[in-house]
């Protein structure tokens, strides 16, 4: 799942010359749903969007408050073109979720947004319609979001740092070469002449004249 989040002073959606949704200060979310998206991706994206700190606080400090902190509005627009891949210069959309499935998934996304935030502050366009979206980007501020790929636990910065440190330790160990203990194990053993083996030089094998 991909999203482009824009901080706006206002935004609206028009279909067939009629305005169907409009918000004031807040964020406009363009959302692209892929074939592989699951409920887990949906929940991840809702959490990220609502907690994204793109607003200033009361003292004017930037990047301090989320849309929920400020009690601003959210306008969501379904945008399958975010899932395009280029074949030469032509966009291809085979990675986007088919319309029938995507509409249900998108409605679930809106429902989750409203459940997590204030329902009256969540607006949307018209799924599958040809829309004109009017966005007055504030800043401009535009943030791209993407749900983690399957099995991408290492996307967590703390986990990445841990793995990097482990790798560095391994490289240092290889650079030092064999350890002292392994050197001792691999070193040829000196002949112990005090052993009673009957070999040449063994005093117990010598006869008195």
Residue 195, pLDDT > 60, answer: no
In angstroms, the CA 143 to CA 64 distance is 15
β-sheet bridge partners, residue 209: none
Q: Is 89 left (phi over 0), alpha (psi -120 to 50) or beta?
A: alpha
Residue 205, pLDDT > 50, answer: no
Q: What is the mean pLDDT of residues 67-76?
A: 98
CB count within 10 Å of CB 73 equals: 23
β-pairing, 122-124 vs 73-78, is: parallel
pLDDT digits (tens, 9 = 90+) for 3-13: 999 999 999 99
pLDDT digits (tens, 9 = 90+) for 128-184: 999 999 999 999 999 999 999 765 554 455 655 665 666 667 566 655 555 554 555
Distances (CA, A) of 66 to 29, 70, 72, 85: 14, 6, 9, 31
* Averaged pLDDT score across all residues of the chain: 84
Q: Hey, what domains does the chain have and what are their CATH numbers?
A: 1-144 (3.50.80.10)
pLDDT of residue 167: 65
């Amino acid at each position: 799942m991909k999203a482009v989040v824009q901080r706006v002073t206002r935004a609206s959606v028009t279909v067939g010359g009629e305005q169907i949704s409009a918000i004031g200060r807040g964020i406009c979310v363009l959302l692209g749903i892929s074939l592989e998206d699951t409920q887990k991706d949906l929940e991840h994206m809702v959490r990220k969007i609502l907690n994204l700190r793109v607003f200033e606080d009361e003292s004017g400090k930037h990047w301090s408050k989320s849309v929920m902190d400020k009690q601003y509005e959210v306008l969501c627009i379904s945008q399958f073109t975010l899932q395009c891949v280029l074949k030469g210069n032509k966009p291809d959309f085979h990675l986007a979720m088919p319309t029938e499935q995507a509409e249900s998934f998108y409605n679930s996304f809106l429902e989750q947004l409203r459940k997590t935030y204030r329902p009256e502050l969540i607006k949307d366009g018209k799924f599958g319609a040809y829309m004109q979206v009017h966005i007055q980007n504030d800043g401009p501020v535009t943030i791209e979001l993407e749900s983690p790929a399957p099995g991408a636990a290492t996307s967590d910065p703390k986990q990445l740092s841990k793995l990097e440190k482990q790798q560095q330790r391994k490289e240092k160990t290889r650079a030092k070469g064999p350890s002292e203990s392994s050197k001792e194990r691999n070193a040829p053993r000196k002949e112990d002449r005090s052993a009673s083996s009957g070999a040449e030089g063994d005093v117990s094998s010598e006869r008195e004249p």
